[in-house]
Amino acid sequence: MDLNLLRIFVVIYQERNLSRAAVRMHLSQPAISHALARLRLHFDDVLFVRAKGGMQPTRMAQAMFQPVENAIHALQAALRLAYDFEPERSDRRFRVAFSPAMRHSALPRLYMSLRQAAPGICLDIVNVDKATLESSLYKSELDAAICPEMENIDLYASRHLYQESFLCVGRKAMMPDSDGLDMPFFLNARHIKIDTDEFPYYSITQFMRGQGKSLRYVLEVDGYQSLKPLLEQDDVLLVAPQSIAYALCQSGELTCKALPFSTPQAAIGLHYPNGHQLDAGALWLYDHIAALFKDAGPG
């Protein structure tokens, strides 16, 4: 049995769609169809039946899937461990997803530390897509993700990195002298909103809704890039993770203040495929990230 046929079987089972399976395997759809025909002949079973929800596995395919997937992971792990990982000589590419806040605050520090420890390594950075993140980790389409911690820990491995709190950023000239903002000032101010359902924005929205109030957003953007000049030139507020708030306030024009209400801290985690726990190179990267950010945050 060709090992590649078993890999194709696993991908078809996960995707339930031949076109998507072809994209993941970097093959044409006719090649995937031909591979499925060979699998059917070998196992004397149709394995997958076309249905309204996609390619539905037969009883035999359901029984085969977990043992075959486990065997492939074990073989891949054995092959990876057969080679010592030398970070200073490696030219490996790692695909890492960052949430918007972590991309702004953690990525620069991670990049510079890797330039020192493993100058030949390449990082392929993508944005966290909450709708597909867990399946991407489960399918090993990502090597790692740095973002707020998630719940379905059976689908992937995780390490806690640090706790992130939140502050309000604005021009010194508009901010009160007190350490924190009061609710009337916060409600009457004009705000910039980051277009994301990432913490803390959903928490703030829920709190305001519970109080029968809402904030006046005058600008909505999809990330933190290029906001510093806007904040320096206009009387607007931005609620941001503490690490980003401190970075923005390094210039003399801006300051950060405590919010007029409590929000829970966000637990930031490192998430990665279960199968990578026996990958020497991936384990080196995870240990490096954990040591870099453990209990200290990205600042």
Q: What DSSP string describes 245-260?
A: HHHHTTSTTEEEEB-S
278 and 145 share a domain? yes
Report pTM: 0.66
Quote the number of domains for the chain.
3
Q: Report the C-alpha gap between 273 and 55 in whole angstroms.
A: 25
Of 260, 293, 251, the C-alpha closest to 167 is: 260
251 and 170 share a domain? yes
pLDDT digits (tens), the chain, 299 positions? 677 789 899 999 998 999 988 888 878 888 899 999 999 999 999 999 998 888 999 999 999 999 998 888 777 666 665 556 789 989 999 999 998 778 877 888 899 999 999 999 999 999 888 778 888 887 788 999 998 887 665 678 888 888 888 899 999 999 999 989 999 999 999 999 887 666 555 667 777 788 788 889 999 987 787 899 999 999 999 998 888 888 889 878 999 999 998 877 788 889 988 766 667 888 899 999 999 987 555 55
Q: Which residue range forms the structural domain that includes residue 25?
A: 3-78
Q: Report the C-alpha gap between 184 and 158 in whole angstroms.
A: 40
| Residues 253, 171 contacting (CB under 8 angstroms) | yes
195 and 226 share a domain? yes
**What is the CB-side half-sphere exposure of residue 216 using CA atoms within 13 A?**
9
Q: Could you tell me the CATH number of the domain that includes residue 110? A: 3.40.190.10
Q: Report the C-alpha gap between 256 and 5 in whole angstroms.
A: 57
